[in-house]
Chain A
Amino acid sequence: MMTSLKMRDLARCLIAYEAVASKTSEPVESAILRVYGKLRQSLGVFAGVASFQSLAFRAFTQAKSEAPGLWAVQVDANGSLQGLGEPKPEQLEFEPQLGSGKDQASEGGVILIARLLGLLDMFLGEALTFSLLRNAWPGATFDDRVAENGRKS
């Protein structure tokens, strides 16, 4: 089962929001990790670390099958994410610029976040999922979430 387009859009929206919020040029992976970290924080308070870790691991397992860029990623026991954006050894050898590897990793990150949001949507429904997101991103608006990078005008 592929990630739904709606969840990918929402994931991209959150990542873009974080990228804009940092006000510095940084790799996309950093914004992805910050989105993941905020979800982890918010869900951890609400449902507990173990619950978050279970969901994150499930999302990761689903995402891995459609995102080769996640090959080095691991979800730790405390739910934290390791290895996002790490290049494959053969890419280091043959593609020193890391262009396509980077793209794959960031796309993998988007899919992972989308999968996590998809699980929340499935378990809690849209209303509660957006309640959680509003809690984690109090400045963002999700009514028109695929546009304007989710920022309040």
Chain B
Amino acid sequence: MNTQDKVTINKLSTGVPGLDEIVGGGLPEFSFNIIAGAPGSGKTTLAHQFVFANASPERPALYFTVLGESAIKMLRYQQQYTFFDPAKLPDSIRFINLSQVVLEKDLGAVLEEITKEVEKANPAVVVVDSFRTMVRKPGSDMELQSFIQRLALFLASWQATTFLIGEYAEDELRDNPIFTVADGLFWLRQTTERNSIVRKLQVIKLRGQDSVPGLHTFRITDAGVQAFSRTFGLTARKRNPPGGRRLCFGIPDLDKMLDGGVPEGDSILVAGSSGTGKSVLATQFVAEGISKGEPAIIAVFEERPEAYALRATNLGLDLETPQKDGKLTILYLRPLDLSVDETMQSILDAVTKIGAKRLVIDSLAGFEMALSPGFRADFRESLYRMIFALTGIGVTILSTVEVDESFTEFPFSTYSISFLCDDIIRMRYVSIDGQLRKIMVVIKMRGGNHAKEIREYEITSKGVVILGRALTNFQGLITGIPVHLDRSDLKEEPAQKPGIESKS
């Protein structure tokens, strides 16, 4: 059969930011769906968002309420969400209460009542909230199954996209014949992890299209449900492979060490202990990009954007003007119960908004702290997904990471994430001639050659400045306590006049 002979299934927007991507572009029109989950998991809100996004006076939505939450109270709370448009009631969205029929009659009468209303209104969307409260007595499963079977047949014929909302516990997922009838099965979960609440959504089943598997984080805000795809919404986005350019730091000696700069689309890790100038280097990377017309994002977790920008000003780097010009966004991501997916969504939104080419994450330790405890366990895997997703659309990422300074080891990161990074720049303190000085070395560049030398640098009023020639006359520099091999060069090449150290 030709592709053109196949029936086209229209995809309806779910009205839930992020969910269209998860379900493969939208919900299949005329599908029969079940939204399951424990009380308070967001089932009704999700259904309302779909209804408000799709109902019209010509093809309205019928929202049947049964036992349980009173319709008046439900609307009292639901209208607090920004998606709730009271003007859509009652022409586009009609609420019909069936509790009397349920209490006084049987499911056959309920079906009859729904049938009557559907025939009258010709709706595009039908919701039954909550269908499970209709049958709670023992041995009534068959009756409910039969009811749902008949309802599904009827509503599909009437070209309505349907949602049944039901309270289900986790262990009821298996072998439930009711779920076999459904075209789509959405499971909403809410779990407590230490002191945080984590909400997750799973598309257990969706006939006819390719949904993103796995558990997706979602949040309920005053805008309603917002879902965060595990693939960060990038599966549907056109990939933008890097073009082979080199991106400079604007620090000539460092750019030379990097053979002209870092390859575009790389992930760079700048590792060092506190005060070694990681943030300064990151800021210079961003400022250099902006000066070359490459918009940038800085995601900060440990200090506020104003303080970050002020510190840059002290280094002679202007971050205020590009922010005003829409060339730079400093994202402050501090809440302590974020998921990586939410953080990513914020970053992605900012990247999309200003067309950012460079991204600084300052720092990974702050990022990890901002996450809900449950997500910290998966931090490495989450970073992998995030870096893969962002570099895939051509963004060059520079992450800073604080490492404990040791005088016996030379660690690159406490997260064992160096394999995720294309390039690693290590900064550290060394003890030379009774002074605590700073050295920098390019550990790795996946994309090509780089200098192997160890260079001394200072943080001056102009930012990171690399001093003199390579430190070749020492042994054990990376231990932090080097041995001076030959002191004769001291007279030949006096140390370059050091700049004034500025507070970073």
Report whether B86 and A131 are in contact in the complex, using a CB–CB cutoff of 8 Å. yes
- Residues of chain A within 8 A of B96, CB atoms compared: 45-46
What CA separation (Å) do A128 and B89 show in the bound complex?
A: 7
- Provide the A118-153 mask, 1 if CB < 8 A to any CB of B, else 0: 000001110110011011000000000000000000
- Residues of chain B within 8 A of A51, CB atoms compared: 70-72, 97
Q: Given that A125-B86, A127-B87, A132-B90 are contacting pairs, would A47 and B70 also be in contact in the complex, using a CB cutoff of 8 Å?
A: yes
Report whether B100 and A49 are in contact in the complex, using a CB–CB cutoff of 8 Å. yes
- Residues of chain B within 8 A of A47, CB atoms compared: 65, 70-72, 95, 97
Shortest CB distance A140–B (Å): 14
- Provide the A47-87 mask, 1 if CB < 8 A to any CB of B, else 0: 11111000100000000000000000000000000000000
What CA separation (Å) do A44 and B96 show in the bound complex?
A: 8
What CA separation (Å) do A45 and B99 show in the bound complex?
A: 10
Judge whether B75 is part of the interface by a CB distance below 8 angstroms: yes
Report whether A46 and B86 are in contact in the complex, using a CB–CB cutoff of 8 Å. no
How many pairs, one residue from A and one from B, have CB atoms within 8 Å of each other in the complex?
A: 55
Judge whether B79 is part of the interface by a CB distance below 8 angstroms: yes
Tell me which of A48, A124, A127, A131 contacts B65 (CB under 8 A).
A48
Report whether A134 and B99 are in contact in the complex, using a CB–CB cutoff of 8 Å. no
Judge whether B76 is part of the interface by a CB distance below 8 angstroms: yes
What CA separation (Å) do A49 and B104 show in the bound complex?
A: 12
Report whether A124 and B75 are in contact in the complex, using a CB–CB cutoff of 8 Å. yes
Shortest CB distance B93–A (Å): 9
Sorting the interface of chain B by its residue count into under 10, 10 to 19, 20 to 34 or 35 or more gives 10 to 19
What CA separation (Å) do A132 and B71 show in the bound complex?
A: 13
Shortest CB distance B161–A (Å): 22
Shortest CB distance A58–B (Å): 12
Judge whether B73 is part of the interface by a CB distance below 8 angstroms: yes
Report whether B97 and A48 are in contact in the complex, using a CB–CB cutoff of 8 Å. yes
What CA separation (Å) do A44 and B101 show in the bound complex?
A: 12
Please give me the residue from chain A that is nearest to B117 by CB atom.
Answer: A45
- Provide the B61-100 mask, 1 if CB < 8 A to any CB of A, else 0: 0000100001111011001000000110110000111111
Please give me the residue from chain B that is nearest to A78 by CB atom.
Answer: B100
- Residues of chain A within 8 A of B76, CB atoms compared: 123-125
**Most chain B CB within a 10 A radius of its CB, from A47, A127, A135:** A47
Q: Given that A46-B96, A47-B97 are contacting pairs, would A55 and B72 also be in contact in the complex, using a CB cutoff of 8 Å?
A: yes
Tell me which of A46, A128, A134, A135 contacts B97 (CB under 8 A).
A46
What CA separation (Å) do A79 and B75 show in the bound complex?
A: 21
Q: Given that A48-B65, A134-B90, A135-B90 are contacting pairs, would A124 and B72 also be in contact in the complex, using a CB cutoff of 8 Å?
A: yes
What CA separation (Å) do A48 and B75 show in the bound complex?
A: 14
- Residues of chain B within 8 A of A45, CB atoms compared: 96-97
Tell me which of A44, A123, A131 contacts B89 (CB under 8 A).
A131
What CA separation (Å) do A118 and B65 show in the bound complex?
A: 24
What CA separation (Å) do A111 and B165 show in the bound complex?
A: 39
- Residues of chain A within 8 A of B99, CB atoms compared: 48-50
| 14 sample A-B contacts, Cβ–Cβ < 8 Å, listed by A number | A44-B97, A46-B97, A47-B71, A47-B95, A47-B97, A48-B65, A50-B99, A51-B71, A123-B73, A124-B75, A124-B76, A128-B79, A131-B87, A131-B90
Taking beta carbons and an 8 Å cutoff, which residues of B are in contact with A? 65, 70-73, 75-76, 79, 86-87, 89-90, 95-100
